[in-house]
Amino acid sequence: MKPLKLYQGQTPSPKDATRDAVSVLRRGLLPIVEIFYSLQGEGSRTGQATVFVRVAGCSLACSFCDTDFRVRREMIVAEIVAEVRGYNCPWVCLTGGEPTLYAEVGALCDALHDAGHRLQIETNGMFPRPDWRLDHITVSPKESEGGTLAPWYFENAAEFKYVIDDETDLARALANPCAGKPDSPLLFLQPNALNPAAVQLCISAVQAHPNRLRLSLQTHKLLNIP
């Protein structure tokens, strides 16, 4: 087997990581970065114990991205399910990178469901996969970084989570057509890197739009847990 390319430094290259992930998929395996057990730190599931399965590669290259999404493990679906089951936790969060980049991940969703798990997915919303069995869809749109948002998510997401740096980001969140409609997905503002100015901007916006917006903090970073 040809060894995967090793990257230098801390910042992954999305293009290279995705190319390596696709080469793993072609061999019938899933490209995984890591599987770990922690608490969900963001959005409406904050505080719930969750097994995270991080899929390698991404469709974007956001300037603020702090996620290492290089391929670390090449696994078959049964191996992933067995490892997840070892934590004896009902909730699993499929994250990335961008897990909806690859149709093959759908088989993992179905297998985790068949094993009795509830499934959250975190996506940038570019590639809807309506045929996957999912219980909680979290969309973090990256329009400021060239991302697009598939309209399917306006009907099917549980929540949208906007990373906020400034007023322009806030305007994008408020332009989401779901904001404030009854029974529509929740709309969270998440200050980027807990930057104090962004935190204050988010607090003021939530106070100004109490029926439309909520605050999401990266509580796992505050607690220094993975």
Pick the closest to residue 193 from 63, 38, 11, 6 (CA basis).
Answer: 63
The set of residues, in sequence order, having a beta carbon less than 8 Å from that of 9 and lying 6+ positions away, is none
Please identify, using beta-carbon distances, which residue of 101 and 108 lies nearer to ligand SF4.
101
Known catalytic residue: 58? yes
Give φ, ψ of 74 to 5 degrees. -115, 115
- Active-site annotation holder among 34, 65, 135, 209: 65
Least distance (Å) between residue 78 CB and ligand SF4:
26
Pick the closest to residue 172 from 155, 189, 157 (CA basis).
Answer: 189
Do the beta carbons of residue 92 and residue 51 sit within 8 Å? yes
The set of residues, in sequence order, having a beta carbon less than 8 Å from that of 210 and lying 6+ positions away, is none
Known catalytic residue: 66? yes
Please identify, using beta-carbon distances, which residue of 81 and 120 lies nearer to ligand SF4.
120
Residue 223 burial (C-beta neighbours within 10 Å; 0-12, 13-18, 19+)? exposed
Would you give the DSSP letter of residue 43?
A: G
Site mask for ligand SF4 (CB under 6 A), range 68-107, x = bound: -x--------------------------xxx---------
Residue 37, CB-side half-sphere exposure with 13 Å CA sphere: 9
Known catalytic residue: 220? yes
Least distance (Å) between residue 67 CB and ligand SF4:
5
Known catalytic residue: 62? yes
Q: Judged by CB under 6 A, does residue 12 bind ligand SF4?
A: no
Q: Judged by CB under 6 A, does residue 124 bind ligand SF4?
A: yes
Among 21, 58, 75, 94, binds ligand SF4 (CB under 6 A): 58
Please identify, using beta-carbon distances, which residue of 87 and 127 lies nearer to ligand SF4.
127
Sites of contact with ligand SF4 (CB under 6 A): 14, 58, 60-62, 65, 67, 69, 96-98, 124, 142
Which of the residues are catalytic? 52, 58, 62, 65-67, 122, 220
